[in-house]
Structure 1
Amino acid sequence: MSPSAASKSAGPVYVDPGVPTKRAACVIGIDVGGTNTDSVILQNNEVLAWHKTPTTSDIQEGVEQAIEAVVDKAKIPSHRVDSVKIGTTQFVNAILEQDSTKLDKVAVIRLCGPYSKGSPPFVDFPPRLRDLMEGHYGYVDGGYQVDGVPILSVNSEQLKEQAAIIKSKDITSVVVIGIYSPSNPAQEEEARKILSSELGPGCDISCSYAVGRLGFLERENACILNASLRRFARHVIDGFSHAVRKLGRCKLYITLNDGTLSKASTAAEYPVRCFSSGPTNSARGAALLAKAETARDADQREVLVVDVGGTTTDICALLKTGYPRQSAAFVKIAGVRTNFTIPDVHSIALGGGSIVRVKSTRTSVGPDSVGAKLDKEGIAFGGHTLTATDLVLENKNTEYSVTPGTKASGLAEITRVLEEAIDLVKTKQGDVRVILVGGGSIIISNKIAGVGEIIRPQYLEVANAVGAAIAKVSGSVDKTVVPGAKTIDQEIEAAKALATRQCIAAGGNKATIEVVEVDVVPISYVTNGATRVLVRVVGDLVEGYEERHDESESSSPSDDKPRIARDSVSQSATKGSSYEIIEQIDILSYRPRIEGDYWYLSELDIQFLQDGTGVLGVGSCGEPYPAYIACLLALRNGEEIKIRRQDNFPDNGVVLVAGFMGSPSVYLERVPGLDEVTDSMKGVLEVCGLSTFDSVIPNEIGGMNAFEALLAAHRFGKSTLDTDLVARAYPKIWQTVRCLKDLPVAPAAVANGMGNTQVFKNTRDNLEAEDLMRDACTDLGNLCGMCVSPVYGVEARTLPRNSFSHAWMIGRSIALSRSLKIDPVTSILKSENGILLFTGKIISVTRHVAEGFTRGSVLLSSFSDAESPSSPSPTTSLFVEFENENLSAILKEEGKKDKVIAVCPDLITFLDKANGAPLGISDYKYGLRVSVIALRAPPVWATERGLEMGGPGAFGLDMEYKSVSVGEYEEPKSVWEMFRDLKGS
């Protein structure tokens, strides 16, 4: 290509400042999908050439062909290409397909001391995946407290014992995970070296701190997936490296979930980071390709990217940054819960290869597809299978006639399915803009309800590859810090500096690095100022320089990470179908198992309770996932977890009030062991002179404490009584219906599960009890089992009615709504006489710790305001204050006086707009789409004494309590009342 031709096709030549080169950078972007491999070559973000070809069984060969074809079409020398950036679905597909040829058994070693033993690894994995991956797990000394103090030192003898077991089981993939290792990886590295020495160079050892964020079980799950895939990942990356080597000294990068890049060698070690790079690349590529159209006027309509492939269509909202909107909280990958940040993508079974079936009354499209075989099996290509593509292409098969009526009805069905999906993804009323990309996009019509404009940009067929080509480099830090030698501000700056160094080390251009995320989350219920700091930076890739080593050799592992040759991937094992039929439970007809005065919980029951206790937790009490796992394990082991009927509890019965005191965020990292709550209960039994008891209840029904009461009762072989002390959640232990009557909290006890129990026989009053117990909890690691003074028979029957039944019904309502594809909020409001306060997007969150409690506020904007600043409609926002729980909701409208629309003790709860899941204050972050609802508090909290202890004045709010405009409070029914005529089932 002549210089003039190059300038004409590529635009002005760009030279990166400070880079020792005189030539413009060319970059190849490749997307290796399950159906097609797309490639594109860019110079200065201008497409020089592109190529699409079916994905081959030999991945290396397919990439080589893609590179050769696109370089040939661009008519440039191969040495002009500085880097190749590849996005691939190969890794996540291996998980989704449950392919045993690509997945290895994994051993997990926890550095945890006495903690986490109630919630072992693998329990919540889908059965087939668990069978493929579960090899061994063991618990050894180690881990850190939230303030950085070691729980226990690493024990080399224990590690050697575990290594011997791993050897005996012929497992070669090992995960090491320590409590709070993202804040301090020293113990994990120490353990890795010991295990490596014992197991030898043939064993692959992963450290969790390098894989995931804070959140012990979610990080462990991600690390297990990652470790199981490493052998296959090295095989794939080795093939990519070999293919790129033909271009000369060209650098190879792999695209990650967040739209940034990783060196090939790093991606081979951490394939889980690449799982969702495809949708991000698609959105990024669509944004660039449609930049001229979307920027041509002041139109502020919401923009959606619709990527139509051969089998599925992915839809996501595009932010003004050119990145897709991210999912909230945790996500499930192939049914496994992780805490990665991935694109918020809605996928439907619709693509160019979707099979069309004509029935007497209607025409169906999909969900099955011919996929990569479209050019052989499709009618338009001479095959015998009617596909979505055949509805728009000329029929070349003379043996098969596609009638105009079939085409019309099939295309109408495609449009209907797509319209429903788009309406689900939209976050505001009115028409949206759609950027349509993907090779299957020809099946989409130009008229879609709810869409004001459809943009079909040039090169739409290879938007994924374009997105890969423009990906940047990132660096990130996620750690918990305690102010001391450094202030929190200094810790934030140190985190920014560390993230920047990581970005530069990964190939980022220092001059272009910018901080794109800073999240500072004070740890609630602690008094030492512990704070979680998350920082992420991105920068452009430095082009035109030579690395000190040949990147094509970057997949060569270190001594303890053996390189896997391509031919070592066995083809002899079995492969699970991604279309395996899983038994679905009819939620509407499901009945709990009730026998006499006892309700025996099932796996479905505890799923309902997860969401129901979250709603009643009104923003606090913590995500109950660790305790849920422990309950799930007990049920799967054939053990019983039971709840006892409240209204006929005997007069001489004894009830212990038990749960956890401390930080919910610590709970998710220092996952409880077996003894924290039971030790505190034993302390209270001893000081009260009791030898036994009958039931357990939580101090409050919200979140983790409800589940921990279930577990505590189960571990003593007892039942949990269908009540609690609050009927909602409050931050202080004296904010209970018992304390409204001035009944004492003491005698009480707290315990840390390591043999340290502190008992408080008597206190001056309940305020002093709170202070003493909080101080003890902080000294014992900011999280302790807790038990307060027992409840006796007659009083137990006067406590809040049917608390667990109430939570179960709320959770059932959410689950039923999901199964019927309707908004869970509507169902909750109807069943609970509640009211929808606001639907919108979080635009700011402030947090600070005062006296051990997290105080702060969150500001939400309505979707139209948040997404369309120039909208002529009045600005509407909602301001919510919280102190561990949500306290008040104030509506702000431009030109009007602020209006308090809800305040405690009424319940104010945030629900994820996507699925109705209840959110805690630690989940609140910018961009999260939520519905905010209010439910009526029990009447006891609206009395003069109730308001004094749990109303706005109790939290220093200068406002009066006025109940929200909802129906009268209805006392929750018990499951016995709802299902009393049915036995078992």
Structure 2
Amino acid sequence: MSPHSTADINDTCVPLLDVEMPSKITSCVIGIDVGGTNTDAVVLRDERVIGWHKTPTTSDIQEGVELAIEAVVKKAEIPVNHVGAVKIGTTQFVNAVLEQDSSKLEKVAVIRLCGPYSRGTPPFLDFPPALRALLYGHYGYVDGGYQVDGSLIATIDVNQIKEQARIIKAKSIKSIVVIGIYSPSNPAQEEDVKKILASELGPDYDISCSHAIGRLGFLERENASILNASLRRFARHVIAGFSEAIRHLGTCNLYITLNDGTLSMAQTAAEYPILCFSSGPTNSARGAALLAKSYISDANDGREVLVVDVGGTTTDICALLKSGYPRQSAAFVKIAGVRTNFTIPDVHSLALGGGSLVRTKRLRTSVGPDSVGSRLNQEGIAFGGNKFTATDLVMVNTFTQELIDPEVKKSGLAEIGRALEDAIDLVKTKQGEARVILVGGGSIIVDEHIAGVSEVIRPKYLEVANAVGAAIGRISGSVDKTVVPTHGIDLEIQRATSIAKKKCVAAGGDDKTVEVVEVDVVPLSYATNGATRILVRVVGDLKNKYDFAPDKVIPKAPLRKKRIAKCARAITDSSPAVTKGSSYEVVKQFDVKSYRPRIEGDLWYFSELDLQFLQDGAGILGVGSCGEPYSAYLACLMALRNGEDITIRRQDTLPDDAVVLVAGFMGSPGVYLERIPGVDEITDAMKGTMKMAGIENFDAVVPNEIGGLNAFESILAARRFKKSVLDTDLVARAYPMVWQTVRCLKDVPIAPCSVADGSGRVDSFSTATDNFHAEDLMRTACTDQGSLGGMCISPVSGAEAKTLPRNSFSHAWQIGRSIAISRSLKIDPIPPLLELQSGVLLFIGKIISVTRNVAEGFTRGSVLLEPFSENDSNRIGDEGVEKSLVIDFENENLSAVLKEQGKEEKVLACCPDLIVVLDKANGAPLGISDYKYGLRVSVIALRSPPVWTTERGLEVGGPKAFGLNMDYKSVATSAVAYEEPKSVWEMFGEGS
């Protein structure tokens, strides 16, 4: 593990040692959690609950909060002027987005500080249509942005900003987002543009900067900023209502709880409502940590601590860290179908709660997923109603004795236990039995005995743990930036930590209590200048007071009438508000299996569904590298929606003297996620190579490799020249070096070749000493261009194209289609995929550590996995034997080695076979930059094409080519000869 890895600092899931909670306070604190079913309130003094109240959530949230405060103060028997702070968690803001309420959402204008970049993928493109119609106002591109090393892409042009201000004013758009490339690393340009806009537009316009909303990841940060800007007016309305609700408490301070379990001052929360979207599960975990603190005495026994929060409709389960905070999710987050990148707790939710409906059918009892929710006290059988709920299974009174069969009770409770045990096993991040802290009003339905759990702790006040968590919230500060550490990484970490601490204090934290809770250091692949991403998060206790002036919050005013009588909901009531991302979702009503691609003669015309299939297929063939192709996928999607054709040409249909250009990107995938490509990087490189080769025209395009983003970028390059892409590539998978292609196995030269940055700079090389020299020349040029550039190497003839790997796009498409079919059927995608590809399941488990280091621009490291539990039937080897899997990678996954207690290490797979790590939940392929502690994954291996298992192929792309001390042994499980992938023409063409 890297000495600066997050896991070293706060990711070890062991029982709480000394949970860091706020220092003693001289006055009382009220914590409130406004949930979908109930509003909970507690009064704490010196971390002790002295009063609590639970009531059904009302439609008027302000009135509900007022009543909750009145009731809980009365129960605590304290004077109202003894309350020093009220801390509220609310779902109001996320609900406004989910319901697509036009009375609460504003149209938004986006100004990108991007220079020539990002223009192929405009704002709002990936929003669901109905939500896009509500929010889309305007977007404009202007000069600005930074490179990965901090140098300028372009300086700000004041006249361009003033022109955008004029357009925005003419369109009567009052909410504006300013977003610049690498602004989290340096927010100066965003802040300067904000000042210019404010001067031009005046105080009636709401201007926000993206660096205050999200982390690195341009499109995701922009999306989050758009949602946030659209909600700001409504958020001020809500916060003003909350401030009104606490006026009778005197000079009490108001705070709002955030997604990461910390707090925001009320005025700040009104500016950044999106940071409050998922605070509920975090509050529950934090409250559970405090309430169960006295129950955990043998803190050094190594058992993992989980929090299980059972409500009226759902159960949330998360792993608790030593810090008393839940583990944060490593995946991107989708809100109402919009992809964002702010952090939320890594919570596994299942549709099980006290109000879940119980049904019996054919001697089988089911519980949920639907629920009576807050109507339990009126509709449940135990309360005289006629709805059979999970609560009725455990309550004994006249109603339940007369109406419920004892055998049904028994089977229903068994079904609850089974569902809970399965969910707990998914959340556990280490072997052995865990401790469970059980909280929530619906927790009475959970039995004391749970497989894989050594102890179930039911702390006092468990019904209001979420409100307790809100009450003990602390203030945080964070930094996410990319640096080139010229004076050492430790100094850069110190600088980032200092900035994070200053942010914490500025937000209301006590500088004497600020402490570091997270440090993550990730070197960027392919960046030869040592560029490294640093993330630091700190927390601190609240200052005793801050200058809270309710009047500074925009006074509560009536919201405007809805522009439409009734706004259609984006999702059904049972759908999750916030989801951890997969690469895409397949529409339920669409029969994916019956879909047939459009084939006309030698051309395959891509549809939106074809692009979706390619996204996962290219990800798997990327073998952990090649970058996440999301922005290029969106650019292709826009082309289709604009009526343009995207065509793949059958591989062997070109004449022998045809000219085929090779297209792709060179550089760091990490840079690709922030400096979104423009439209000229690859096309400029192609023109540079054509000039070097003396070529005036060409006939088709092939990607340098089929893996990851390069498949999509070759499609975009071909479209810009109105050409087709051939159904092939140069590798049939992914490798880190340009000379690791099937052409170079035959010593075909890479030069002439070119690298271009998209802003007019093209570095071309007519000759090189050999292919290694050519690679060095191109890598040096790429680094100088910001560690990312379009690439085009020596052209391919039509005759040579017929000898390249067969049917590469068809192959990726088949893989993605298999995964999509499984998702649509709600089944595990791994078995069908392995059957289709003659692949092997190597391991199912959780990542428990990741180490990374950079040598000569390449990220080398390893990831360690352990099985879910000792009872996991999918584990390899004998039951009861401790085992783990180690995957070595150098940008791509290289080897998978099984380690079992008392046995020699066993190589399960190595390159050139394809070792792929997939998200256990949905089968989405993960890249090495996605590897994070606690991720639940499946590891598979696919057979290598025969060209890479020859003596020459192994010399260039086998284990010894990467310095691994092992011999290649195929993962093939049978004597069946390798079958080349079929083309879509063979599967779906005429006569198929």
Question: Could you state the TM-score of these two structures normalised by the residue count of structure 2?
Answer: 0.89
Going from structure 1 to structure 2, the CA distance change for 1:332 and 1:282 (only over 3 Å counts) comes to same
Check the 8 A contact 1:382/1:396 in 2, yes or no.
no
Counterpart amino acid of 1:975? V
Choose which of 977, 983, 988 in structure 2 pairs with 1:974: 983
Going from structure 1 to structure 2, the CA distance change for 1:446 and 1:978 (only over 3 Å counts) comes to farther
Give 1:534-549 correspondences, 5 Å limit.
534-542=535-543, 545-547=544-546, 549=547
What is the CA deviation profile of residues 881-904 of structure 1, one whole-angstrom value per residue up to 9, with x for unaligned ones? 322222233333444444443332
Determine the C-alpha separation between the residues in 2 that align with 1:905 and 1:596. 34
What is the CA deviation profile of residues 314-347 of structure 1, one whole-angstrom value per residue up to 9, with x for unaligned ones? 3334445433333223121221111122122233
Going from structure 1 to structure 2, the CA distance change for 1:443 and 1:874 (only over 3 Å counts) comes to closer
Give 1:474-873 correspondences, 5 Å limit.
474-484=476-486, 486-542=487-543, 545-547=544-546, 549=547, 551-553=548-550, 556=552, 563=554, 565-568=556-559, 570=561, 573=564, 574-577=566-569, 579-580=571-572, 584-864=589-869
Shift, 1:246, TM fit: 2.3
Counterpart amino acid of 1:577? R
SS of the equivalent of 1:651 reads: coil
Choose which of 56, 80, 84 in structure 2 pairs with 1:54: 56
What is the CA deviation profile of residues 179-218 of structure 1, one whole-angstrom value per residue up to 9, with x for unaligned ones? 0101111110111111112222111111000100000001
SS of the equivalent of 1:687 reads: helix
Correspondence for 1:316: 318
Counterpart amino acid of 1:488? I
SS of the equivalent of 1:206 reads: strand
Correspondence for 2:14: none
Shift, 1:699, TM fit: 0.5
What is the CA deviation profile of residues 891-934 of structure 1, one whole-angstrom value per residue up to 9, with x for unaligned ones? 33444444443332222222223332222222223333333332
Determine the C-alpha separation between the residues in 2 that align with 1:564 and 1:219. 29
Going from structure 1 to structure 2, the CA distance change for 1:564 and 1:111 (only over 3 Å counts) comes to farther
Correspondence for 1:196: 198
Going from structure 1 to structure 2, the CA distance change for 1:306 and 1:846 (only over 3 Å counts) comes to closer
Shift, 1:532, TM fit: 1.1
Determine the C-alpha separation between the residues in 1 that align with 2:296 and 2:304. 11
> Are residue 87 (structure 1) and residue 93 (structure 2) matched?
no
Counterpart amino acid of 2:497? K
Choose which of 941, 946, 949 in structure 1 pairs with 2:956: 949
Give 1:106-255 correspondences, 5 Å limit.
106-255=108-257
Going from structure 1 to structure 2, the CA distance change for 1:493 and 1:423 (only over 3 Å counts) comes to closer
What is the CA deviation profile of residues 722-777 of structure 1, one whole-angstrom value per residue up to 9, with x for unaligned ones? 11101111111111000110111112112111122222222222112111111111
Check the 8 A contact 2:213/2:342 in 1, yes or no.
no
Going from structure 1 to structure 2, the CA distance change for 1:39 and 1:572 (only over 3 Å counts) comes to farther
Determine the C-alpha separation between the residues in 1 that align with 2:364 and 2:935. 39
Shift, 1:546, TM fit: 3.1
Check the 8 A contact 1:841/1:866 in 2, yes or no.
no
Shift, 1:117, TM fit: 0.8
Correspondence for 1:73: 75
Check the 8 A contact 1:116/1:672 in 2, yes or no.
yes
SS of the equivalent of 1:934 reads: strand
SS of the equivalent of 1:323 reads: coil
Shift, 1:518, TM fit: 1.3
Correspondence for 1:5: none
Going from structure 1 to structure 2, the CA distance change for 1:294 and 1:15 (only over 3 Å counts) comes to closer
Determine the C-alpha separation between the residues in 2 that align with 1:894 and 1:449. 24
Check the 8 A contact 1:252/1:552 in 2, yes or no.
no
Shift, 1:666, TM fit: 0.7
Correspondence for 1:338: 340
Check the 8 A contact 2:83/2:252 in 1, yes or no.
yes
Determine the C-alpha separation between the residues in 2 that align with 1:293 and 1:75. 27
Counterpart amino acid of 2:495? A
SS of the equivalent of 2:152 reads: coil
SS of the equivalent of 1:710 reads: helix
Determine the C-alpha separation between the residues in 1 that align with 2:242 and 2:28. 18
Going from structure 1 to structure 2, the CA distance change for 1:350 and 1:570 (only over 3 Å counts) comes to farther
Correspondence for 1:560: none
Check the 8 A contact 2:22/2:474 in 1, yes or no.
no
Going from structure 1 to structure 2, the CA distance change for 1:363 and 1:636 (only over 3 Å counts) comes to farther
Check the 8 A contact 1:34/1:90 in 2, yes or no.
no
Name which of structure 1's ranges 315-324 and 573-582 shifts more when overlaid on structure 2.
573-582
Choose which of 898, 909, 925 in structure 2 pairs with 1:902: 909
Give 1:916-955 correspondences, 5 Å limit.
916-955=923-962
Counterpart amino acid of 1:980? G
Determine the C-alpha separation between the residues in 2 that align with 1:864 and 1:477. 35
What is the CA deviation profile of residues 851-873 of structure 1, one whole-angstrom value per residue up to 9, with x for unaligned ones? 22222333334445999xxxx96
Correspondence for 1:960: 967
Give 1:352-391 correspondences, 5 Å limit.
352-354=354-356, 366-376=368-378, 388-389=390-391
Counterpart amino acid of 1:902? A
Going from structure 1 to structure 2, the CA distance change for 1:647 and 1:532 (only over 3 Å counts) comes to same
Name which of structure 1's ranges 348-357 and 912-921 shifts more when overlaid on structure 2.
348-357
Shift, 1:622, TM fit: 0.6
Check the 8 A contact 2:22/2:541 in 1, yes or no.
no
Going from structure 1 to structure 2, the CA distance change for 1:877 and 1:372 (only over 3 Å counts) comes to closer
Shift, 1:365, TM fit: 5.3
The alignment of Structure 1 onto Structure 2 pairs a total of residues equal to 950
Shift, 1:219, TM fit: 0.5
Determine the C-alpha separation between the residues in 2 that align with 1:890 and 1:313. 36
Determine the C-alpha separation between the residues in 1 that align with 2:373 and 2:433. 32
Shift, 1:684, TM fit: 2.3
Check the 8 A contact 2:756/2:790 in 1, yes or no.
yes
SS of the equivalent of 2:110 reads: strand
Shift, 1:414, TM fit: 5.4
Root mean square deviation of aligned Cα: 3.1
Check the 8 A contact 1:381/1:396 in 2, yes or no.
no
Correspondence for 2:47: 45
Name which of structure 1's ranges 33-42 and 448-457 shifts more when overlaid on structure 2.
448-457
Name which of structure 1's ranges 295-304 and 690-699 shifts more when overlaid on structure 2.
295-304
Determine the C-alpha separation between the residues in 2 that align with 1:489 and 1:459. 44
Shift, 1:660, TM fit: 0.7
What is the CA deviation profile of residues 470-504 of structure 1, one whole-angstrom value per residue up to 9, with x for unaligned ones? 222221111111233x4322111111111122223
SS of the equivalent of 1:329 reads: coil
Determine the C-alpha separation between the residues in 2 that align with 1:517 and 1:462. 28
Correspondence for 1:3: none
Determine the C-alpha separation between the residues in 1 that align with 2:124 and 2:364. 44
Going from structure 1 to structure 2, the CA distance change for 1:842 and 1:386 (only over 3 Å counts) comes to closer
SS of the equivalent of 1:473 reads: strand
